[in-house]
Amino acid sequence: MNSKFKVSRFVPALSLLLVVFIAGCERPPMDSVQQGFRGTGMVAVSNPRLAAELMAGVSVPDPIPAVPPSGTTASEVYENVQVLGALDVSEFNRFMTAITQWVSPDEGCNYCHAATGFASDDLYTKVVARRMIEMTRQINSDWTDHVGTTGVTCYTCHEGNNAPLNVWVQNPGPRRAGGFTADSAGQNTVAPEAALSSLPYDPFSPFLLGDTEIRVLASQPLPQGAPVPAIKQTEETYALMMHMSDSLGVNCTFCHNSRAFSNWQESSPARVTAWHGIRMARELNTSYVAPLSTTLPAARLGPMGDAPKVNCATCHQGLNKPLMGANMLQYHPALVGGD
């Protein structure tokens, strides 16, 4: 019997096993970039073919050709331009064409302009759009610590949709039986907001609307004066971190050195950009988007009556740089600074 044992008989089975074993692996060559400071061992490994796929999935509209200035400002010609008055009329009209392409390509100008005339503010969409222009300008002028010179346009969030695809509203939480299970404190629910973990399903209200402290790691072994955050609060921090990683399509090590999450010296520069991003999202929500709850129609509001708000995914949509870093702002002076 033993003489009949041939390794060759097992070759098909072994090769099958090998195929199964390496099926989850990615074919070399891979790229690696040192993204932390020297000596921290923070090297990001990425697959250039996956990056090419991501790139192919991003569509950025061609810029509308530049127009020669007319020499007249919009406020000299039009009746009701409260924000864009200083813009040259030609540029103003070019900009109207651009926002139509970015926000309402199917509905056209009528999405914001009523039959009663272009100057009328009858449609809520126009009132919201005016506020959005102010918001976008503020992002591009006051938040360069986050958006750099790349900046954002309406397209970054809207991508040709009336309302951005990734927004959040306050969440009443899952329905549960009564008794002590009724209040789950946000736990034990598969939360898409926290990358399908069972961490709290609303990390946004405390951190991207309110300014609850995100840092939870104690700097001293025992409570010495300063109160140590409760474990429940650490869960909210981790839920936010899951959302941030998920929105950018990255791992925790894109920003942190996992041997010391709290340590800034060992974190990558991207963490500082993210720190500003958290403050920016918070300001966009408190100053611009949340107050729209009285302007938007009821059908647009969440179950708790609040307006849909911004989080990291609103701009990033799964990419570490929105639209893979495409700079559309350079073609639209209307969206830089005030007038």
Site string for ligand HEC, 169-188 (x = CB under 6 A): --------------------
Instruction: Give whichever of 41 and 183 is closer to ligand HEC, judged by the CB atom.
Output: 41
> Which residues 71-90 are close enough to bind ligand HEC by CB under 6 A?
78-85
Rule CB under 6 A: choose which of 42, 73, 94, 125 binds ligand HEC.
125
Number of CB atoms found within 10 A of residue 129's CB: 18
Amino acid occupying residue 249: G
Rule CB under 6 A: choose which of 241, 266, 293, 317 binds ligand HEC.
241
> Which residues 250-279 are close enough to bind ligand HEC by CB under 6 A?
250, 252, 254-256, 261-262, 270-271, 273-275, 277-278
Rule CB under 6 A: choose which of 17, 165, 185, 217 binds ligand HEC.
217
Q: Can you list the pairs that 3-12 forms with residues at least 24 positions away whose Cβ atoms lie under 8 Å?
A: none
Rule CB under 6 A: choose which of 88, 296, 317, 328 binds ligand HEC.
296
Q: What is the residue whose two structure tokens read 């039959």?
A: 115
Measured CA to CA in angstroms, residue 186 lies from 171, 177, 233 at distances of 10, 15, 11
b/e per residue 151-160 (b: at least 16 CB within 10 A) = bbbbbbbbbe
Q: What is the residue whose two structure tokens read 């898409």?
A: 192
- 70 contact partners, CB below 8 Å, separation of at least 6: 88, 89, 90
Stretch of residues binding ligand HEC (CB under 6 A), selected from 11-19, 20-28, 104-112, 172-180: 104-112
> Which residues 6-65 are close enough to bind ligand HEC by CB under 6 A?
none
Stretch of residues binding ligand HEC (CB under 6 A), selected from 11-19, 37-45, 109-117, 183-191: 109-117
- 274 contact partners, CB below 8 Å, separation of at least 6: 244, 255
Amino acid occupying residue 51: A
Measured CA to CA in angstroms, residue 300 lies from 131, 163, 288, 297 at distances of 17, 9, 16, 6
Cα 182 to Cα 145: distance, rounded to the nearest angstrom: 43
Q: Under the criterion CB under 6 A, does residue 144 sit at the interface with ligand HEC?
A: no
Instruction: Give whichever of 145 and 183 is closer to ligand HEC, judged by the CB atom.
Output: 145
Q: Under the criterion CB under 6 A, does residue 328 sit at the interface with ligand HEC?
A: no
Q: Under the criterion CB under 6 A, does residue 285 sit at the interface with ligand HEC?
A: no
Cα 144 to Cα 151: distance, rounded to the nearest angstrom: 7
Q: Under the criterion CB under 6 A, does residue 324 sit at the interface with ligand HEC?
A: no
Q: How far is the CB of 335 from ligand HEC (least distance, A)?
A: 6
The region that residue 257 occupies, defined by phi over 0 for left and psi between -120 and 50 for alpha, beta otherwise, is: beta
Instruction: Give whichever of 3 and 140 is closer to ligand HEC, judged by the CB atom.
Output: 140
Q: How far is the CB of 92 from ligand HEC (least distance, A)?
A: 7
Rule CB under 6 A: choose which of 130, 233, 286, 336 binds ligand HEC.
130
Q: Under the criterion CB under 6 A, does residue 316 sit at the interface with ligand HEC?
A: yes
